[in-house]
Amino acid sequence: MAITRRWQAGCESNLTASPTGENEFDVVSGSITTTATAKTGSLAFKIASLASPSADVVLSATRQIRIGGHWNLQAQAATTGTLVFWRAAGVDLGSVRMVAGDLNLNLGLYDAAGNQQAVVNNIYTAGAYFHLGVDIKIDNAAGWVKVYVDGTEVLSWTGNTGNANIDSVRFGGAATGSGPRSLADTYLDDAYIDDTTGEVAAAVPDRRFAYIIPDGVGNYSQCAPVGSANHWENVDDRPHDSDTTYNEANVLNERDTYTMTTVALPAGWTIAAVIPCLYCKKTDAGTDTEITPTLRESATDDDGTSVDADSSYSLKWERFTTKPSGGAWTQAALDGLEVGFVGTGTF
Which pLDDT tens digit goes with each residue over 229-238?
Answer: 999 999 999 8
Buried/exposed 224-238: b ≥16 CB within 10 Å, e otherwise: ebebeeebbbbbbbe
Q: What is the rounded distance in angstroms from the CA atom of residue 329 to the CA atom of residue 332? A: 8
- pLDDT of 22 higher than 80: no
Dihedral angle over CA of 169, 175, 179, 181, nearest 10:
-30
Domain 4-195 has CATH 3.20.20.70: no
User: What separation in angstroms does the CA of 183 have from each of 29, 52, 83, 103, 178?
Assistant: 18, 10, 13, 10, 12
**DSSP result, 171-224:** EE-PPTT--SS-SS-EEEEEEEEEE-TTPPP-PPP--------EEEEEEEE-SE
Q: What is the dihedral of CA 63, 29, 16, 288, to 10 degrees?
A: 60
What's the whole-number mean pLDDT along residues 288-294? 96
* 139, 161 contact by CB (below 8 A): yes
Q: What is the pLDDT of residue 239?
A: 85
Choice between 146 and 79, residue whose per-residue pLDDT is larger: 146
How far apart are the C-alpha atoms of 268 and 244, rounded to whole Å? 41
Long-range contacts of 227-236 (CB under 8 A, 24+ apart): 231/256, 231/258, 232/258, 232/259
Mean pLDDT value across residues 224-252:
95
The domain segmentation of the chain, as residue ranges, is 4-195, 214-345
* Residue 14 CA from chain centroid, whole number: 13
DSSP assignment of 246-277, as one string?
EEE--STT-EEEEEE---PPPTT-----B--E
Question: Is the per-residue pLDDT at 153 higher than 90?
Answer: yes
* Mean pLDDT score, 287-308: 97
pLDDT confidence band for 21 (50 / 70 / 90)? very low
Provide mean pLDDT across the span 319-325: 98
* Predicted pLDDT of residue 92: 93
- Does residue 20 have a pLDDT over 50? no
Give the pLDDT mean for 340-347: 94
Secondary structure percentages of the chain, helix, strand, coil, to 5: 5, 45, 50
Q: What is the pLDDT of residue 310?
A: 92
Q: Which amino acid is at 152?
A: T
Q: How many Cβ atoms from other residues are within 10 Å of residue 217's Cβ?
A: 16
What would the mean pLDDT of 204-220 be, rounded to a whole number?
A: 96
DSSP labels for 303-345?
A: E---EEPPSS-EEEE--B-S-TTSSS--HHHHHT-EEEEEEEE
**Cα–Cα dist 224/203, whole Å:** 47
pLDDT attached to residue 175: 60
Please report which confidence band the pLDDT of residue 23 belongs to, taking 50, 70 and 90 as the band edges: low
Per-residue pLDDT for 177 more than 50? no
Range of weakest confidence among 9-18, 142-151, 252-261: 9-18
pLDDT tops 70 at residue 217: yes
At residue 165 the predicted structure's pLDDT band, cuts being 50, 70 and 90, is very high
Whether the pLDDT of residue 178 is over 80: the answer is: no
The mean of the pLDDT values for the chain is: 91
Residues with Cβ within 8 Å of 107's Cβ and at least 6 positions away in sequence, in order, are 83, 96, 97, 98, 99, 119, 120, 123, 124, 147, 149, 154, 155
pLDDT for position 181: 62
Render pLDDT for 1-14 as a digit per residue (tens, 0 to 9).
689 999 999 888 88
Residue 100 predicted with pLDDT over 90: no
| DSSP letter (8 states) at residue 139 | -
Could you give the CA distance from residue 328 to residue 334 in angstroms, rounded to a whole number?
11
The pTM for the full model equals: 0.93
